[in-house]
A and B are shown apart, each in its own frame.
Chain A
């Protein structure tokens, strides 16, 4: 099983970032929160692998003692 990829993996990083912001354009805070939650669930299901997901939860926590990669 391959682990969580924390190296750059988006071929067009700026494009993705722009579409992420665009998706939130015009939404209220509540709508944006709901959108983010749906997006996380969609992506988590795509990943599927429990090990990768728990590493992702850990990575998102930005624990201090974790060495950045």
Chain B
């Protein structure tokens, strides 16, 4: 049986572009068919923007990579038409246990808030994740959308001009040239595009190595996240055990800095380590073993004229907190609607600079969280180890110390506070739905299993809750249609969107973020907020967030 990561999904086929006299120009080219490039392409195709994806191989991701996907990305994937299949396949978990030395010091329950369609997290192998995205691409093709993945097509040169970008693509039939009005570079942490354009990627390398193994075993460990600090089977280091679908388990073993990577990877060295961890009687089979060094870094700017960087090409974090793919999906969620408006002449090009501002804000938050987790897991000095161990010892006895234990702060979306796209706020409403925040989900009514986020997204919208409004408002070619809801028998909606207010009017962005809100209808104010949220109010665009 060939496994999914061994199966060519989009094998190389010769394209008509290779036989054209002059390089063919496409509206958008995406480089890289990883999770982020695929999400970008699906979003574009859903918006009827033709897109070509170039990837240097023809398969899903190889090796042990992302497993943990958080609620906000799952909501984005719902909008992209593939969230449900992923949740169904994925493993849902809520309980985490923390061990120190030979004992369990405490356990926690994520206690997800009620009234959301999606769970707080699922675990799903990255190769499954990408396969669902590729399936969605094929669905869209079947519906006649102009979306194409070209396998075994490696970009080897890039020329970014003011008016377009031109690329050289290497294929089994030799190279050809192709052009794009806009290029989205989702070519991963080692981004050849970034290197070819001579752009920076600065940050911090953590001097540590982690052995990451995916093992198939028939064990009845519960569906929980287990994290060990300084366990007997990996003295002075940490370890993680986490369940994935199909009886696959993710094991992370911290190895320290001065090791021989090639030697540590050999089965004769890996297997005894795993036996010591899992117990002598557990039978398992190795799916993958890799050794990683982690880094936290980002580009200084994600937009370079007509080239837009998204995902790992733009920023990289250590995996503690599962913020890599999770944040990359938020990049394209933020980017695609802006690009569509700019391409359609409905917004100034400077709207794309707000992609840069908003997502750099997101990347910095992720890098901060991820660095703090890594510093806790890998103490950098004698004193930081003393404090780390003090926190762990106290956590066994006293609740106050548990929030200080940091084995990864799991990914949450950021709020674009201070974004130039934000319009008016209303002080009596809850802070969690202030302008710039991602709309929290809620049931549509007290007794339905329809969800608010299923009604939002892809265009500007007016969310009218217990307030009369016109059915739609249009300004300069952009229309916001109304979604009407009532808080009767719907306490979750009231708590999340009204707070003290009697009723609410929310202007929602196409990425389901709040642009502005009021407690009454004001036609003029809503129009002005649409202009602001589309960057037409140019004077507002100077500087970064806050």
Contacts and interface: CB of A to CB of B under 8 A. Distances in A.
Nearest to A39: B390
Interface string A32-64: 011001101110010000000000000000000
Contacts of A42: 394, 398, 400
A33 B386 CA distance: 7
A60 to B, nearest CB: 14
Interface in B357-377: none
B331 to A, nearest CB: 32
A49 B401 CA distance: 16
B391 A34 contact: no
A34 B400 contact: no
A41 B404 contact: yes
B417 interface: no
A42 B393 CA distance: 12
Nearest to A46: B400
Contacts of A33: 383, 386
B288 interface: no
A38 B393 contact: yes
Interface string B375-390: 0000000010011011
Contact of A34 (B386, B398, B401, B404): B386
Interface string B5-23: 0000000000000000000
Contacts of A45: 400-401
B441 to A, nearest CB: 31
14 contacts: A33-B386, A34-B386, A34-B389, A34-B390, A34-B393, A37-B389, A37-B390, A38-B393, A41-B390, A41-B391, A41-B401, A41-B404, A42-B394, A42-B398
Interface of A: 33-34, 37-38, 40-42, 45
Interface of B: 383, 386-387, 389-391, 393-394, 398, 400-401, 404
Closest 10 CB pairs of A and B: A37-B390, A45-B400, A38-B390, A37-B386, A37-B387, A33-B386, A38-B394, A41-B390, A34-B390, A34-B386
